[in-house]
């Protein structure tokens, strides 16, 4: 489906870094080590990478000349010359990330360190494809128009995070939602390619959130973990051996599809029992505007009497889902994040920890229950990770966590 947008202005700018081709393995290895471990001198990189010091030195010099790395402050040891740590240059690589959500579309421009440089949001009752793609075209044009030519040349791509089979969302919503089925016949990468010459990647939105947590959040603390993200709908992701596992069709970690049972004994899925749209429905029942949930900055203190029972049910469901997940893989930890205020996340994690204690744990080793770090922007940030990983980093961090 071609939405027919006038996007020639956007398509005209250089694809920049992508024109130089992807990095070779050793360059990716050193960049990945610096991304994962932070700044360090070449001698430490040589030990971690098992490359010779001259090879590491030559690669670091080349990457610095290209603007991908920068020097830190010299560090003096007990003997010899001070060592100079190298680190990722934040502006060395930039990437767009688009999240298509139930209530809004969010476009971010992040840098090499994951910092958000620009952010735009489009709110809607439900997502019309033409409206979403026009938003993307307008925002890319607006953002790049305010950038220097060098900054524009460092944009490496556009990543898109969208739910798996988004056209089926209408089955969970009320009759006011008409646009979801329209997404069935749309090839999202093809539509984005009508807007920009930049490389495009597409990932499941919950997997994208997991990727953001893994790269820029607490993911580096654990080798194997499952990740729950609670938005309008609940989704998840899994990490094995320091790497986000997407599965053969990109739908691994579909934790929202875990089976559950409603209070009246109906067969349900976790997404039906532990998503924010349940809280939206409760507010509508008492004639409160559900938009209160999504107002920025988020503050749920005024709806506490409705949030508390939702928290209780969500925590119980996540506790049961945690043990079901760990019955398949012996995860070290479960990370929980969502599109809610930080204090809600903290309370939810505490409740899940308490409920886990009272569950039937026979044959299982209960994992650590931990709060995520990235928050509501996780899906868009994770989407923007896609082009960066495909061109500059190793897709697996196996072997990068050497002490």
Same domain, 316 and 190: no
Domain shared by 369 and 225, yes or no:
yes
Token look-up 């990330």 returns 97
| Percent of the chain with pLDDT strictly greater than 70 | 88
Provide the pLDDT for residue 22.
54
Query: CA 8, 3, 10: angle at the middle one, nearest 5?
Result: 20
Q: Is the pLDDT of residue 187 over 90?
A: yes
| pLDDT grade for 21, boundaries at 50, 70 and 90 | very low
Which pair of tokens denotes residue 398? 């196996």
| CA distances in angstroms from 41 to 34, 82, 85, 113, 201, listed in the order given | 10, 10, 4, 18, 33
Q: How confident is the model at residue 97 (pLDDT cuts 50, 70, 90)?
A: very high
pLDDT at 131 over 60: yes
pLDDT value of residue 296:
85
Q: Model confidence at 73, in pLDDT bands (50, 70, 90)?
A: confident
Residue 403 lies in a domain: no
Q: How confident is the model at residue 322 (pLDDT cuts 50, 70, 90)?
A: very high
CATH number for position 368: 3.30.420.40
User: pLDDT band at residue 61, thresholds of 50, 70 and 90?
Assistant: very high
Q: Which domain holds residue 142?
A: 8-15+93-204+380-392
Q: What is the CATH number of the domain that holds 46?
A: 1.10.10.10
**pLDDT at 7 > cutoff 70:** no
pLDDT band at 182 (very low <50, low <70, confident <90, very high): confident
244 with 337, same domain: the answer is yes
Could you tell me if residue 306 is inside a domain? yes
Q: Are residues 360 and 243 in the same domain?
A: yes
Is the pLDDT score of 225 beyond 90?
yes
Residue 369 above 90 pLDDT?
yes
CA dist., res. 215 & res. 105, Å (int): 22
* Residue at which a domain ends, from 90, 119, 154: 90
16/66 Cα distance (integer angstroms)? 12
In a domain, 300, yes or no: yes
Mean pLDDT over 40-45 rounds to: 95
Looking at the structure, do residues 250 and 301 belong to the same domain, yes or no? yes
User: Is there a single domain that holds both residue 196 and residue 250?
Assistant: no
pLDDT at 176 over 60: no
Scan for tokens 């607006």, then name that residue.
Answer: 142
Length of the chain: 403
> Quick check: is 210 in a domain?
no
Q: Is residue 79 over pLDDT 70?
A: no
Are the CB atoms for 258 and 269 separated by under 8 Å?
yes
| Pair of tokens at residue 174 | 């009320």
pLDDT in the model for residue 3 = 46
Note whether residue 44 is domain-resident: yes
What is the DSSP secondary-structure string of 178-236?
A: -SGGGGGG--HHHHHHTT-SS-EEEEEHHHHHHHHHHHHSSGGG-SSEEEEEESSSEEE
pLDDT over 90, % of the chain? 73
Beta strand extents in 252-376 (DSSP E only): 259-261, 267-269, 333-338, 368-371
Assigned domain for 397 exists: no
Contact present, 356 and 366 (Cβ < 8 Å):
yes
Mean pLDDT, the chain, as a whole number?
Answer: 89
Q: What per-residue confidence (pLDDT) applies to 172?
A: 53
Evaluate if residue 173 carries a pLDDT over 70: no
Does 19 have pLDDT greater than 50?
Answer: no
Question: Given a cut of 80, is residue 63 above it in pLDDT?
Answer: yes
Whether residue 223 sits in one domain with residue 365: yes
Decide the pairing of beta strands 155-162 and 333-338.
unpaired
Q: Tokens representing 222?
A: 């654990």
Specify whether 80 is located in the same domain as 100. no
Residue 212 covered by a domain: no
User: CA dihedral defined by 102, 216, 368, 244, rounded to 10 degrees?
Assistant: 70
Cβ–Cβ under 8 Å, residues 201 and 160: yes
Regarding whether 306 and 232 lie in a shared domain, the answer is yes
Q: What angle do CA 208, 214, 219 make, to 5 degrees?
A: 145
Q: Are residues 308 and 229 in the same domain?
A: yes
Q: How many domains does the chain have?
A: 3
* Residue 54 confidence (pLDDT) above 80: yes
φ/ψ bin of 80: left (φ > 0), alpha (ψ from -120 to 50), beta (otherwise): left
User: Does pLDDT of 137 surpass 60?
Assistant: yes
Residues 106 and 80 in one domain: no
pLDDT of residue 4: 44
Of the candidates 90, 118, 143, which is a domain's last residue? 90
pLDDT grade for 303, boundaries at 50, 70 and 90? very high
Residues 63 and 97 in one domain: no
Which of 75, 90, 105 delimits the end of a domain? 90
Q: Whole-angstrom Cα distance, residue 142 to residue 55?
A: 42
- Residue 103 inside a domain? The answer is yes
């Amino acid at each position: 489906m071609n939405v027919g947008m006038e996007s020639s202005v956007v398509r005209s700018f250089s694809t920049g870094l992508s024109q130089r081709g992807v990095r070779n393995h050793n360059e990716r290895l050193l960049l990945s080590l610096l991304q994962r471990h932070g700044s360090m001198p070449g001698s430490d990189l040589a030990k971690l990478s098992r490359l010779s010091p001259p090879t590491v030195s030559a690669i670091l010099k080349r990457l610095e000349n290209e603007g991908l790395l920068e020097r830190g402050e010299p560090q003096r040891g007990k003997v010899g010359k001070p060592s100079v740590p190298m680190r990722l240059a934040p502006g060395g690589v930039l990437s767009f990330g688009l999240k298509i959500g139930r209530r809004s579309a969010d476009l971010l421009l992040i840098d090499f360190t994951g910092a958000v440089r620009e952010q735009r949001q489009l709110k809607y009752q439900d997502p019309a494809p033409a409206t979403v793609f026009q938003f993307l075209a307008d925002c890319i044009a607006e953002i790049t128009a305010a950038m220097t030519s060098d900054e524009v040349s460092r944009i490496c791509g556009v990543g898109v995070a969208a739910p798996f089979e988004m056209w089926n969302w209408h089955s969970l919503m009320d009759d006011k939602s008409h646009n979801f089925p329209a997404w069935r016949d749309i090839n999202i990468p093809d539509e984005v390619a009508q807007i920009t010459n930049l490389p495009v990647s597409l990932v499941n939105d919950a997997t994208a959130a997991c990727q953001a947590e893994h790269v820029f959040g607490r993911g580096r603390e654990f080798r194997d973990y499952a990740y729950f993200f609670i938005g309008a709908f609940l989704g998840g992701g899994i990490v094995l051996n320091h790497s986000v596992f997407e599965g053969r069709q990109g739908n691994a970690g579909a934790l929202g599809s875990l089976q559950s049972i409603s209070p009246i004994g109906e067969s349900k899925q976790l997404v039906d029992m532990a998503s924010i749209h349940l809280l939206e429905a409760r507010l509508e029942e008492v004639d409160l505007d559900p938009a209160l949930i999504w107002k920025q900055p988020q503050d749920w203190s005024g709806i506490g009497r409705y949030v508390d029972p939702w928290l209780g049910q969500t925590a119980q469901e996540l506790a049961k889902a945690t043990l079901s997940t760990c019955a398949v893989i012996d995860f070290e930890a479960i990370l929980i994040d969502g599109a809610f205020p930080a204090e809600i996340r903290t309370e939810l994690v505490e409740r899940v920890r308490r409920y886990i204690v009272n569950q039937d744990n026979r044959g299982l080793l209960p994992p650590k229950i931990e709060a995520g770090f990235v928050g509501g922007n996780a899906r868009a940030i994770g989407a923007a990770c896609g082009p960066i990983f495909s061109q500059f980093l190793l897709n697996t961090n196996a072997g990068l966590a050497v002490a």
